[in-house]
Amino acid sequence: MRSTKRQAAVLLATLMGALACGPSDGAARPAERLSAQAGAPGIGDADFPLDGNGGYDVSHYALKLGYTPAGRRLDGVATIQATAKQSLTRFNLDLKGFKVSEVSVDGAAATFSRAGHELTVAPAAPLRQGSAFTVKVAYAGVPQPVVDSSNLGRYGFIPTPDGAFVACEPNGARTWFPGNDHPADKATFDFEITVPKGVTALANGELTGKPRTSGGKTTFTWREAHPMTTYLATATVGKFQLRQGTTPGGIRNLAAVDPKFAGSLDKLYKLSAEITDHWGTVFGRYPFSSTGGVVDDFSAGYALENQTKPLYGGFEPGADIIAHELAHQWFGNSLSIKRWKDLWLNEGFATYAEWLWAEHKGTGTADASFKSFYERPANDSIWAYPPGRARADDLFNESVYSRGAMTLHALRGAIGDETFFELLKTWTSEHQYGSVTTEQFVALAERMSGKQLDALFDAWLFQPKRPTL
Ligand SMILES: [Zn+2]
């Protein structure tokens, strides 16, 4: 994720802020009091207590969607394969809005109820711990994106005149499909999206066949075969011009632009190719089956690193922001955070990648970028906000980005270029497609450098003041 504004937005009291004041980690949640065998309504992220769900782990989502831009109507059937991590008399899915018409578990009708964003499902018979099960949810309605969130504006499934702009970080996947909406539960995805003829549906991964048209509608089938967090899923719909091919390094490349940005198509295609190939030499082998980017005409004010298809909201992206979103394919997408407070592992790294790109092109150095931030006065807001503890009510604060990147530069200075760049590659290979924490990164940095680095990480990530050099 990167805002198109350099300064973080002014904070507003928001729903996210209210959620942050929810039950503390250890408190028994209402559902747990009602039944010891009910899955918890949250996955266990204290900052986002109702995000994701407890008691099961999703392995695959098959989403069959029909979307009509004119009526803004979405008809969906989600088939979710999961494994019970405990015995379950019932469990929750996250879903915002829509009318749910039918829920089944392993083919048998299940009872269900709604409360806020929680869809509670009670299978006909309890699920045994360790058992694999399939839950199917049929739903329909007008998607309601999340609005007025702090530093993000609008996100989720956002209807546009010709389709939809779909960017879901941090918890907007629930605005278009039911699921375990937290990055700690990754899964593979199949998408079958039917839209009016003449309109293109762009989801993650690869097309599994040629689009089929009949009765004035076209169906696109996409598959993301690598594990993906829910917030990186997309089904961006609209009129698009496409350019497809492979990068010089041999990776499939797809660029798509709204006709309003027709002049940007070749630039997006070429830069995405060049940058993906270059990051492959710096961060290790590209983790997915294709790269590229999508420019839609919805003025989101940000870009999001949707897996295999970063989405740019209403502007022609320059090399710096493309470098940022494509670096996320390693940092954030292949390696995903277990808890939102560790967001600097995504944003600090992607911001540092921008500095590295300037270094690679000879237009600047990471050291000059570091110094320009370090010169900010002692009362600048990035010193008051420790980036190693991203706050639920201000998740995308500038500090998480810039001071996160400064942390990496300070580390590079302490352990030397050779170890630093080896560390980046080891980090991405040891945790490929997995989930990570700050503690794991610190431990790896210490192991590879043979140095005690607690003081450095503490000063840069966790202290509310400017570190001394
Ligand atoms: Zn980002």
In terms of DSSP H, where are the helices of 21-154?
Answer: 30-34
Q: Is the pLDDT at 53 greater than 80, yes or no?
A: yes
Rounded distance from Cα 330 to ligand 1 centre (Å): 12
Rounded distance from Cα 113 to ligand 1 centre (Å): 36
pTM over 0.75: yes
Q: Is 343 helix (H, G, I), strand (E, B) or coil?
A: coil
Nearest to 118 by CA among 95, 89, 135, 97: 95
Q: Which residues pair with 245 in a beta bridge?
A: 253
Q: In the structure encoding, which two tokens stand for residue 202, read together?
A: 């762009």
Average pLDDT, the chain: 93
Nearest to 441 by CA among 414, 407, 390, 401: 407
Reported as a pLDDT band with limits 50, 70 and 90, residue 153 is: confident
Q: Give tens-digit pLDDT for 271-298.
A: 999 999 999 999 999 999 999 999 999 9
Q: Is the pLDDT at 34 greater than 90, yes or no?
A: no
Rounded distance from Cα 345 to ligand 1 centre (Å): 10
Q: Is 27 helix (H, G, I), strand (E, B) or coil?
A: coil
For 441, the enclosing helix (H) or strand (E) is helix 438-449
Let me know: does 427 contact 393? Beta carbons within 8 Å.
no
State percent of the chain over pLDDT 90.
91
Q: Is the pLDDT at 35 greater than 60, yes or no?
A: no
Helix/strand/coil percent split, the chain, to 5? 30, 30, 40
Residue 251 to residue 259: CA distance in whole angstroms:
25
Rounded distance from Cα 57 to ligand 1 centre (Å): 26
Cα 299 from chain centre: 19
- Give pLDDT, residue 148: 73
**Strand-strand pairing, 111-115 and 118-122:** antiparallel
Rounded distance from Cα 402 to ligand 1 centre (Å): 11
Q: Which residues contact residue 25 at a Cβ distance below 8 angstroms, ignoring those fewer than 6 apart? A: 44, 46
